[in-house]
């Protein structure tokens, strides 16, 4: 099946250790660096930050879409995605862990939780990581 949209990005240089990531349309052009928290110099972004930003934006859109589909008015919503690089069991390679903190205003807690669970079922990032990345979902109403 043909895709609706295909993003194209290229990593050059040393990858996360001092390279660049650019998109084919020039909208994305970022320096990459190992974060200070991992013993690097910092001063650039990293794959985990880029993944967290994409997932937060995608999940937020899914939340808004689900609410609109159900004709539920929400306000002051936000999604904070935390993506953690973690060593795999046995010490070979790395994997990811994630926490999605979702803030929803204008509804009660059960409604917010139902919307978030529905968004988690339709968000492409959630679908792509399901079964591969442990995800902790928290929902706060405001």
Assigned token pair, 114: 């139902």
Tens-place pLDDT, residues 15-69:
999 999 999 999 999 999 999 999 999 999 999 999 999 999 999 999 999 999 9
Q: Are residues 40 and 55 in the same domain?
A: no
- For residue 124, what is the domain's CATH number? 3.30.300.20
pLDDT at 125: 98
Mark whether 37 and 104 lie in a shared domain.
no
What pLDDT does 90 receive? 87
> Which CATH number covers residue 38?
2.20.25.10
pLDDT band at 2 (very low <50, low <70, confident <90, very high): confident
* Containing structural domain, residue 26: 1-45
Same domain? For 37 and 102 the reply is no
Percent of the chain with pLDDT over 70: 100
Listing DSSP states for 67-119 in one string gives HHHTT---EEEEEEEEEEEEEPGGGSSEEEEEEEEEEEESS-HHHHHHHHHHH
């Amino acid at each position: 099946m043909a895709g609706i949209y295909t993003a194209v990005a290229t990593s050059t240089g040393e990858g996360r250790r001092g390279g660049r990531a650019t998109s084919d349309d020039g909208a994305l052009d970022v320096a990459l660096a190992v974060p200070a928290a991992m013993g690097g110099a910092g001063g650039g972004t990293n794959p985990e930050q880029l993944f967290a930003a994409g997932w937060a934006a995608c999940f937020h859109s899914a939340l808004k879409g689900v609410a609109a589909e159900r004709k539920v008015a929400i306000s002051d919503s936000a999604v904070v995605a935390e993506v953690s690089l973690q060593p795999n069991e046995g010490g070979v390679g790395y994997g990811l862990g994630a926490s999605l903190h979702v803030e929803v205003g204008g509804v009660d807690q059960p409604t917010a939780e139902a919307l978030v669970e529905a968004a988690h079922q339709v968000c492409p990032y959630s679908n792509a990581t399901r079964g591969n990345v442990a995800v902790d979902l928290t929902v706060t109403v405001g």
